């Protein structure tokens, strides 16, 4: 076995010689990116209405992670939660 063959085997499942997900390349890179969800799903995850989330955006209180060409928003729920929690946090002076 050459060095090149050994490196190929590192990313293979021993049982049937197929690539193993999450071990290299694009699979591993994709897993580290946050999952972006539509406004309705993000609002449900936070226990608020989709309309309330729309009002927050319009007022400039929160910022979506992505705005599609259609005008729809996509959210990282953890980041949105941080933005909303910051709205009610007492300000330090």
Confidence at residue 90, expressed as pLDDT on a 0 to 100 scale = 77
Mark whether 66 and 87 lie in a shared domain.
Answer: yes
Q: What backbone phi and psi angles, to 5 degrees, belong to 75?
A: -130, 145
The larger pLDDT score, comparing residue 40 to residue 6, is at 40
For residue range 18-50, what is the model confidence (pLDDT) as tens digits?
Answer: 444 444 444 445 556 789 999 999 999 999 999
Instruction: Let me know: does 36 contact 76? Beta carbons within 8 Å.
Output: yes
Confidence at residue 92, expressed as pLDDT on a 0 to 100 scale = 67
Segments forming the whole domain that contains residue 74: 34-93
For residue range 51-82, what is the model confidence (pLDDT) as tens digits?
Answer: 999 999 999 999 999 999 999 999 999 999 99
Mark whether 27 and 40 lie in a shared domain.
Answer: no
Under 8 Å CB-to-CB from 73, ≥6 apart: which residues? 38, 39, 57, 64, 66, 67
């Amino acid at each position: 076995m050459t060095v090149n063959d050994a490196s190929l085997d590192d990313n293979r499942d021993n049982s049937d010689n197929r690539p193993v997900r999450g071990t290299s390349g694009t699979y591993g890179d994709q897993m580290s990116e946050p999952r972006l969800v539509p406004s309705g799903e993000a609002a449900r995850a936070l226990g608020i209405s989709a309309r309330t989330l729309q009002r927050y955006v319009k007022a400039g209180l929160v910022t979506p992670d992505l705005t599609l060409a259609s005008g729809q928003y996509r959210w990282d729920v953890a980041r949105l939660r941080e933005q909303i929690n910051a709205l009610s946090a007492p300000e330090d002076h």
